[in-house]
Amino acid sequence: MRAGLFLLALLLAPLPAAAQFGPAGPPAVGVVEARRQAVTELTEFIGRVEAIQRVDIRARVTGYLEERLFQEGSEVEEGALLFRIERAPFEAQLEQARAAVASAEAQLYNARVALARARELRATGAGTQVALDNALAQERVAAAQVLSAQAQVRVAEINLAYTEITAPISGAIGRSTFTPGNVVSPSSEVLATITSQDPMRVAFNVSSRQAQELRERFEARGGAEALQVRIRFAGGRVYEHVGRVDFIDTALNRETDTLLMRASLPNPMRAGHGTALAGGRTLLDGQFVTVLLEGAQPVQAIAIPRAAVAQDQQGFFVFVVDAEGRAQRRNIRLGRSTAETAVVESGLEDGERVIVEGVQRVRPGQPVNAAPAGAPPRPTGMQGRPG
Protein backbone atom coordinates (compact mmCIF):
# COMPACT_ATOMS: atom_id res chain seq x y z
CA MET A 1 0.00 0.00 0.00
CA ARG A 2 2.76 2.43 0.99
CA ALA A 3 4.71 1.54 -2.15
CA GLY A 4 1.68 2.38 -4.32
CA LEU A 5 1.22 5.77 -2.61
CA PHE A 6 4.95 6.59 -3.11
CA LEU A 7 4.78 5.75 -6.83
CA LEU A 8 1.65 7.88 -7.24
CA ALA A 9 3.40 10.78 -5.52
CA LEU A 10 6.30 10.52 -7.94
CA LEU A 11 3.98 10.58 -10.94
CA LEU A 12 2.15 13.64 -9.70
CA ALA A 13 5.28 15.55 -8.66
CA PRO A 14 6.22 18.51 -10.98
CA LEU A 15 9.01 17.94 -13.46
CA PRO A 16 12.39 19.67 -12.84
CA ALA A 17 12.81 22.95 -14.64
CA ALA A 18 15.52 21.56 -16.95
CA ALA A 19 13.21 18.78 -18.13
CA GLN A 20 10.42 21.16 -19.13
CA PHE A 21 12.29 22.38 -22.25
CA GLY A 22 12.36 20.80 -25.67
CA PRO A 23 15.38 20.22 -27.93
CA ALA A 24 18.23 22.77 -27.79
CA GLY A 25 18.82 25.21 -30.65
CA PRO A 26 21.72 25.09 -33.18
CA PRO A 27 25.14 24.41 -31.62
CA ALA A 28 27.25 27.48 -30.92
CA VAL A 29 30.51 27.59 -32.86
CA GLY A 30 33.40 30.04 -33.18
CA VAL A 31 34.55 30.96 -36.68
CA VAL A 32 37.43 32.79 -38.33
CA GLU A 33 37.46 34.26 -41.81
CA ALA A 34 39.86 32.60 -44.22
CA ARG A 35 42.09 35.30 -45.68
CA ARG A 36 45.20 35.21 -47.82
CA GLN A 37 48.19 36.51 -45.94
CA ALA A 38 51.97 36.50 -46.10
CA VAL A 39 53.11 33.08 -44.89
CA THR A 40 56.68 31.91 -44.40
CA GLU A 41 56.99 28.31 -45.55
CA LEU A 42 58.83 26.29 -42.91
CA THR A 43 60.20 22.74 -42.72
CA GLU A 44 62.11 21.27 -39.77
CA PHE A 45 64.99 18.78 -39.76
CA ILE A 46 67.49 17.46 -37.24
CA GLY A 47 71.01 18.65 -37.97
CA ARG A 48 74.50 18.84 -36.57
CA VAL A 49 76.80 21.86 -36.43
CA GLU A 50 80.17 21.30 -38.10
CA ALA A 51 83.35 23.32 -38.40
CA ILE A 52 84.13 24.16 -42.02
CA GLN A 53 87.83 23.48 -41.42
CA ARG A 54 89.24 20.93 -38.99
CA VAL A 55 92.97 20.24 -38.77
CA ASP A 56 94.80 17.66 -36.67
CA ILE A 57 98.21 18.92 -35.57
CA ARG A 58 100.93 16.24 -35.81
CA ALA A 59 104.68 16.12 -35.35
CA ARG A 60 106.56 15.81 -38.66
CA VAL A 61 109.93 14.93 -37.12
CA THR A 62 110.99 12.80 -34.16
CA GLY A 63 112.26 14.76 -31.22
CA TYR A 64 111.96 15.93 -27.65
CA LEU A 65 108.98 18.23 -27.06
CA GLU A 66 110.36 21.33 -25.36
CA GLU A 67 107.46 23.81 -25.21
CA ARG A 68 103.72 24.19 -25.65
CA LEU A 69 103.00 27.81 -26.47
CA PHE A 70 99.19 28.06 -26.38
CA GLN A 71 96.36 27.88 -23.85
CA GLU A 72 94.20 24.82 -24.30
CA GLY A 73 90.68 25.70 -25.43
CA SER A 74 91.64 29.15 -26.67
CA GLU A 75 91.52 30.57 -30.18
CA VAL A 76 94.73 30.91 -32.18
CA GLU A 77 95.58 32.82 -35.34
CA GLU A 78 96.96 31.25 -38.48
CA GLY A 79 100.77 31.07 -38.24
CA ALA A 80 100.86 31.22 -34.42
CA LEU A 81 103.59 29.09 -32.83
CA LEU A 82 102.04 26.13 -31.00
CA PHE A 83 104.83 23.65 -30.12
CA ARG A 84 108.61 23.70 -30.17
CA ILE A 85 110.68 20.52 -30.54
CA GLU A 86 114.34 20.43 -29.46
CA ARG A 87 116.35 22.05 -32.27
CA ALA A 88 119.96 21.06 -31.44
CA PRO A 89 119.99 17.61 -33.13
CA PHE A 90 118.49 19.08 -36.30
CA GLU A 91 120.92 22.00 -36.32
CA ALA A 92 123.76 19.50 -36.12
CA GLN A 93 122.30 17.53 -39.03
CA LEU A 94 122.12 20.73 -41.06
CA GLU A 95 125.80 21.48 -40.38
CA GLN A 96 126.72 17.94 -41.44
CA ALA A 97 124.78 18.38 -44.65
CA ARG A 98 126.52 21.67 -45.37
CA ALA A 99 129.90 20.05 -44.76
CA ALA A 100 128.97 17.31 -47.20
CA VAL A 101 128.23 19.97 -49.81
CA ALA A 102 131.68 21.51 -49.30
CA SER A 103 133.33 18.10 -49.67
CA ALA A 104 131.36 17.33 -52.82
CA GLU A 105 132.25 20.70 -54.33
CA ALA A 106 135.95 20.05 -53.66
CA GLN A 107 135.73 16.68 -55.40
CA LEU A 108 133.93 18.34 -58.32
CA TYR A 109 136.72 20.92 -58.63
CA ASN A 110 139.33 18.17 -58.66
CA ALA A 111 137.34 16.19 -61.26
CA ARG A 112 137.12 19.24 -63.52
CA VAL A 113 140.89 19.82 -63.30
CA ALA A 114 141.52 16.17 -64.21
CA LEU A 115 139.09 16.46 -67.13
CA ALA A 116 140.88 19.54 -68.47
CA ARG A 117 144.25 17.76 -68.26
CA ALA A 118 142.90 14.69 -70.03
CA ARG A 119 141.58 16.85 -72.86
CA GLU A 120 144.99 18.57 -73.31
CA LEU A 121 146.78 15.24 -73.41
CA ARG A 122 144.29 13.84 -75.88
CA ALA A 123 144.71 16.89 -78.09
CA THR A 124 148.51 16.45 -78.22
CA GLY A 125 148.23 12.72 -78.78
CA ALA A 126 149.89 11.91 -75.46
CA GLY A 127 146.66 10.75 -73.87
CA THR A 128 144.15 8.09 -74.80
CA GLN A 129 140.47 8.41 -75.52
CA VAL A 130 139.73 6.00 -72.68
CA ALA A 131 141.45 8.28 -70.18
CA LEU A 132 139.43 11.24 -71.47
CA ASP A 133 136.17 9.32 -71.21
CA ASN A 134 136.96 8.26 -67.62
CA ALA A 135 137.78 11.83 -66.61
CA LEU A 136 134.52 13.06 -68.15
CA ALA A 137 132.53 10.41 -66.22
CA GLN A 138 134.27 11.31 -62.95
CA GLU A 139 133.42 14.97 -63.46
CA ARG A 140 129.76 14.15 -64.00
CA VAL A 141 129.66 11.89 -60.91
CA ALA A 142 131.20 14.67 -58.81
CA ALA A 143 128.62 17.17 -60.11
CA ALA A 144 125.81 14.77 -59.20
CA GLN A 145 127.26 14.34 -55.73
CA VAL A 146 127.17 18.10 -55.25
CA LEU A 147 123.50 18.18 -56.21
CA SER A 148 122.77 15.32 -53.79
CA ALA A 149 124.61 17.05 -50.96
CA GLN A 150 122.74 20.28 -51.65
CA ALA A 151 119.44 18.37 -51.52
CA GLN A 152 120.43 16.94 -48.14
CA VAL A 153 121.00 20.48 -46.92
CA ARG A 154 117.48 21.35 -48.03
CA VAL A 155 116.08 18.30 -46.21
CA ALA A 156 117.96 19.27 -43.06
CA GLU A 157 116.61 22.82 -43.28
CA ILE A 158 113.06 21.53 -43.67
CA ASN A 159 113.43 19.19 -40.69
CA LEU A 160 114.84 22.02 -38.62
CA ALA A 161 111.82 24.16 -39.57
CA TYR A 162 109.52 21.33 -38.49
CA THR A 163 110.77 21.71 -34.92
CA GLU A 164 108.51 24.76 -34.70
CA ILE A 165 104.89 23.71 -35.21
CA THR A 166 102.58 26.57 -36.21
CA ALA A 167 98.81 26.85 -36.69
CA PRO A 168 97.82 26.16 -40.32
CA ILE A 169 94.42 27.86 -39.85
CA SER A 170 92.77 30.25 -37.43
CA GLY A 171 90.34 28.69 -34.97
CA ALA A 172 89.81 27.13 -31.56
CA ILE A 173 92.44 24.66 -30.41
CA GLY A 174 91.51 21.81 -28.11
CA ARG A 175 93.44 19.96 -25.45
CA SER A 176 97.06 19.01 -25.92
CA THR A 177 97.69 15.26 -26.05
CA PHE A 178 101.36 15.56 -25.06
CA THR A 179 103.03 17.71 -22.45
CA PRO A 180 106.62 19.03 -22.72
CA GLY A 181 109.16 16.34 -21.90
CA ASN A 182 107.71 13.66 -24.17
CA VAL A 183 109.30 12.39 -27.35
CA VAL A 184 106.99 12.82 -30.32
CA SER A 185 107.24 11.55 -33.89
CA PRO A 186 105.14 11.40 -37.08
CA SER A 187 103.65 8.11 -35.83
CA SER A 188 102.56 9.65 -32.51
CA GLU A 189 98.97 10.58 -31.71
CA VAL A 190 97.55 13.92 -32.75
CA LEU A 191 99.15 16.71 -30.72
CA ALA A 192 96.04 18.91 -30.80
CA THR A 193 93.11 19.76 -33.08
CA ILE A 194 92.11 23.17 -34.47
CA THR A 195 88.56 23.84 -35.68
CA SER A 196 87.59 26.98 -37.55
CA GLN A 197 84.95 29.07 -35.80
CA ASP A 198 83.43 31.67 -38.09
CA PRO A 199 81.52 30.80 -40.16
CA MET A 200 80.22 27.41 -39.10
CA ARG A 201 77.99 25.09 -41.08
CA VAL A 202 75.06 22.85 -40.21
CA ALA A 203 74.53 19.54 -42.00
CA PHE A 204 71.15 17.82 -42.22
CA ASN A 205 69.55 14.99 -44.18
CA VAL A 206 66.38 15.44 -46.23
CA SER A 207 64.26 12.47 -47.27
CA SER A 208 63.88 11.91 -51.00
CA ARG A 209 60.17 12.81 -50.79
CA GLN A 210 60.90 16.07 -48.96
CA ALA A 211 63.71 16.87 -51.37
CA GLN A 212 61.31 16.50 -54.29
CA GLU A 213 58.71 18.70 -52.57
CA LEU A 214 61.29 21.40 -51.88
CA ARG A 215 62.51 21.27 -55.48
CA GLU A 216 58.99 21.67 -56.84
CA ARG A 217 58.15 24.49 -54.44
CA PHE A 218 61.29 26.61 -54.80
CA GLU A 219 62.77 25.75 -58.20
CA ALA A 220 60.84 28.51 -59.96
CA ARG A 221 61.88 31.00 -57.26
CA GLY A 222 65.62 30.48 -57.55
CA GLY A 223 66.19 27.04 -56.01
CA ALA A 224 68.60 27.09 -53.07
CA GLU A 225 68.87 30.88 -53.32
CA ALA A 226 65.19 31.10 -52.30
CA LEU A 227 65.87 29.26 -49.03
CA GLN A 228 67.24 30.49 -45.76
CA VAL A 229 68.24 28.50 -42.70
CA ARG A 230 67.68 29.14 -39.03
CA ILE A 231 68.54 26.80 -36.18
CA ARG A 232 66.82 26.16 -32.86
CA PHE A 233 68.72 24.90 -29.84
CA ALA A 234 67.60 22.18 -27.45
CA GLY A 235 66.24 24.74 -25.01
CA GLY A 236 63.93 26.20 -27.66
CA ARG A 237 65.87 29.40 -28.40
CA VAL A 238 66.21 30.28 -32.09
CA TYR A 239 69.65 31.43 -33.19
CA GLU A 240 69.62 35.08 -34.16
CA HIS A 241 71.76 34.70 -37.30
CA VAL A 242 70.40 33.40 -40.60
CA GLY A 243 72.29 31.02 -42.89
CA ARG A 244 72.15 30.01 -46.54
CA VAL A 245 72.26 26.60 -48.19
CA ASP A 246 75.69 26.23 -49.83
CA PHE A 247 75.81 22.50 -50.61
CA ILE A 248 73.33 19.91 -51.85
CA ASP A 249 74.71 16.43 -52.43
CA THR A 250 74.50 15.03 -55.93
CA ALA A 251 73.25 11.56 -54.92
CA LEU A 252 70.94 10.00 -52.35
CA ASN A 253 72.28 7.88 -49.55
CA ARG A 254 71.18 4.40 -50.61
CA GLU A 255 70.96 3.11 -47.04
CA THR A 256 68.75 5.91 -45.68
CA ASP A 257 67.17 7.29 -48.90
CA THR A 258 68.13 10.80 -47.82
CA LEU A 259 69.93 13.72 -49.42
CA LEU A 260 72.66 15.59 -47.53
CA MET A 261 72.36 19.38 -47.38
CA ARG A 262 74.63 21.91 -45.68
CA ALA A 263 74.22 25.55 -44.80
CA SER A 264 76.72 28.15 -43.64
CA LEU A 265 75.95 30.43 -40.67
CA PRO A 266 77.87 33.27 -39.01
CA ASN A 267 79.34 32.49 -35.60
CA PRO A 268 80.69 35.77 -34.24
CA MET A 269 82.19 36.25 -30.81
CA ARG A 270 79.54 37.04 -28.23
CA ALA A 271 79.55 40.47 -26.64
CA GLY A 272 81.81 40.70 -23.60
CA HIS A 273 84.14 37.88 -24.65
CA GLY A 274 87.70 38.41 -25.76
CA THR A 275 88.86 36.76 -28.96
CA ALA A 276 91.12 34.34 -27.05
CA LEU A 277 88.55 33.16 -24.54
CA ALA A 278 87.17 29.64 -24.71
CA GLY A 279 83.42 29.31 -25.22
CA GLY A 280 83.04 32.84 -26.52
CA ARG A 281 80.96 31.77 -29.52
CA THR A 282 77.46 30.31 -29.64
CA LEU A 283 77.86 27.46 -32.15
CA LEU A 284 80.03 24.48 -31.23
CA ASP A 285 81.41 21.81 -33.51
CA GLY A 286 79.32 18.62 -33.20
CA GLN A 287 76.29 20.34 -31.61
CA PHE A 288 72.84 18.86 -32.36
CA VAL A 289 70.21 21.43 -33.40
CA THR A 290 66.85 21.67 -35.12
CA VAL A 291 67.21 23.09 -38.62
CA LEU A 292 64.43 25.42 -39.75
CA LEU A 293 64.43 25.56 -43.54
CA GLU A 294 62.22 28.40 -44.70
CA GLY A 295 61.51 30.46 -47.78
CA ALA A 296 63.54 33.64 -48.00
CA GLN A 297 60.43 35.55 -49.13
CA PRO A 298 56.92 35.02 -47.68
CA VAL A 299 54.21 33.80 -50.06
CA GLN A 300 50.52 34.67 -50.15
CA ALA A 301 48.47 31.74 -48.85
CA ILE A 302 45.37 30.98 -46.80
CA ALA A 303 46.31 30.29 -43.19
CA ILE A 304 43.88 29.16 -40.51
CA PRO A 305 44.25 27.93 -36.92
CA ARG A 306 45.35 24.31 -36.81
CA ALA A 307 42.50 23.58 -34.37
CA ALA A 308 40.06 23.95 -37.26
CA VAL A 309 41.57 21.04 -39.20
CA ALA A 310 40.28 17.49 -38.76
CA GLN A 311 41.30 14.29 -40.52
CA ASP A 312 39.59 11.07 -41.51
CA GLN A 313 40.11 8.36 -44.12
CA GLN A 314 39.46 10.87 -46.91
CA GLY A 315 42.18 13.21 -45.66
CA PHE A 316 42.19 16.63 -44.05
CA PHE A 317 39.02 18.70 -43.90
CA VAL A 318 37.39 21.70 -42.22
CA PHE A 319 33.84 22.90 -41.66
CA VAL A 320 32.73 26.23 -43.04
CA VAL A 321 29.49 28.17 -42.42
CA ASP A 322 27.61 28.89 -45.65
CA ALA A 323 25.33 31.83 -46.43
CA GLU A 324 22.36 29.99 -44.92
CA GLY A 325 24.11 29.45 -41.60
CA ARG A 326 24.73 25.75 -42.14
CA ALA A 327 27.98 23.84 -41.61
CA GLN A 328 29.52 22.44 -44.79
CA ARG A 329 32.53 20.17 -45.11
CA ARG A 330 35.51 21.27 -47.20
CA ASN A 331 38.23 18.77 -48.08
CA ILE A 332 41.56 20.61 -48.11
CA ARG A 333 45.20 20.05 -49.02
CA LEU A 334 47.69 21.33 -46.49
CA GLY A 335 51.02 22.96 -47.19
CA ARG A 336 53.88 23.25 -44.73
CA SER A 337 52.15 23.96 -41.42
CA THR A 338 53.07 24.41 -37.79
CA ALA A 339 51.44 23.18 -34.59
CA GLU A 340 49.47 26.44 -34.39
CA THR A 341 48.82 27.40 -38.01
CA ALA A 342 47.69 25.36 -41.01
CA VAL A 343 48.58 26.58 -44.49
CA VAL A 344 45.85 25.56 -46.96
CA GLU A 345 47.02 25.04 -50.53
CA SER A 346 43.61 24.13 -51.94
CA GLY A 347 40.02 23.49 -50.86
CA LEU A 348 39.23 26.85 -49.26
CA GLU A 349 38.22 30.15 -50.81
CA ASP A 350 39.22 33.56 -49.61
CA GLY A 351 36.58 34.97 -47.25
CA GLU A 352 34.92 31.69 -46.19
CA ARG A 353 34.03 31.38 -42.51
CA VAL A 354 35.89 28.43 -40.99
CA ILE A 355 34.68 26.80 -37.78
CA VAL A 356 37.46 26.79 -35.19
CA GLU A 357 35.60 26.29 -31.91
CA GLY A 358 32.96 23.61 -31.39
CA VAL A 359 34.02 21.52 -34.40
CA GLN A 360 33.22 18.29 -32.56
CA ARG A 361 29.54 19.27 -32.24
CA VAL A 362 29.04 19.93 -35.96
CA ARG A 363 27.60 17.68 -38.67
CA PRO A 364 27.53 18.43 -42.42
CA GLY A 365 24.42 20.46 -43.39
CA GLN A 366 23.52 21.22 -39.77
CA PRO A 367 22.44 24.79 -38.85
CA VAL A 368 24.91 26.41 -36.46
CA ASN A 369 24.98 29.49 -34.27
CA ALA A 370 28.19 31.14 -35.53
CA ALA A 371 30.10 33.88 -33.75
CA PRO A 372 33.69 35.12 -34.12
CA ALA A 373 36.10 32.75 -32.40
CA GLY A 374 36.79 33.80 -28.85
CA ALA A 375 33.53 35.82 -28.57
CA PRO A 376 30.58 34.60 -26.42
CA PRO A 377 27.92 32.84 -28.55
CA ARG A 378 24.74 34.68 -29.40
CA PRO A 379 21.70 33.57 -27.33
CA THR A 380 19.32 31.25 -29.11
CA GLY A 381 15.56 30.75 -28.54
CA MET A 382 14.50 27.76 -26.44
CA GLN A 383 11.28 25.87 -27.14
CA GLY A 384 9.39 24.44 -24.19
CA ARG A 385 6.01 23.74 -22.78
CA PRO A 386 4.30 25.84 -20.16
CA GLY A 387 4.88 24.75 -16.60
In CATH, what number is assigned to the domain containing residue 172? 2.40.50.100
At 220 the pLDDT is 67
Q: Is residue 3 part of a domain?
A: no
Q: Is residue 381 part of a domain?
A: no
CATH (domain of 221):
2.40.30.170
CB 194 within 8 A of CB 76: yes
Q: Is residue 382 part of a domain?
A: no
Within this chain, do residues 353 and 306 fall inside the same structural domain, yes or no? yes
Any idea what the Cα angle at residue 270 is, between residues 267 and 276, rounded to 5°? 90
Q: What is the pLDDT of residues 350-363, one digit of tens each?
A: 888 898 888 888 88
Within this chain, do residues 64 and 188 fall inside the same structural domain, yes or no? yes
Within this chain, do residues 247 and 287 fall inside the same structural domain, yes or no? yes
Within this chain, do residues 67 and 183 fall inside the same structural domain, yes or no? yes
Give the domain-ending residue among 270, 298, 326: 298
Average pLDDT over residues 276-284: 75
CATH (domain of 122):
1.10.287
Q: Is residue 379 part of a domain?
A: no
Q: Which residues lie below 8 Å from residue 141, measured CB to CB, with a gap of 6+?
A: 111
At 16 the pLDDT is 45
Within this chain, do residues 172 and 77 fall inside the same structural domain, yes or no? yes
Q: What is the pLDDT of residues 305-345, one digit of tens each?
A: 888 888 888 889 999 989 888 898 989 888 766 667 788 87
Pick from 10-24, 60-74, 177-191: least confident: 10-24
Within this chain, do residues 126 and 143 fall inside the same structural domain, yes or no? yes
CATH (domain of 309):
2.40.420.20
Q: Is residue 380 part of a domain?
A: no
Within this chain, do residues 189 and 76 fall inside the same structural domain, yes or no? yes
pTM for this predicted structure: 0.66
Q: Is residue 386 part of a domain?
A: no
The structural domain count of the chain equals 4
Q: Is residue 20 part of a domain?
A: no
Residue range(s) defining the domain that contains residue 136: 87-162
Q: Is residue 23 part of a domain?
A: no
Q: What is the pLDDT of residues 115-168, one digit of tens each?
A: 888 888 888 888 788 888 888 999 999 999 999 999 999 999 999 999 999 999
Within this chain, do residues 203 and 287 fall inside the same structural domain, yes or no? yes
Per-residue confidence at 279, pLDDT binned at 50, 70, 90?
low
Within this chain, do residues 138 and 218 fall inside the same structural domain, yes or no? no
Within this chain, do residues 209 and 191 fall inside the same structural domain, yes or no? no
Within this chain, do residues 290 and 212 fall inside the same structural domain, yes or no? yes
Within this chain, do residues 228 and 279 fall inside the same structural domain, yes or no? yes
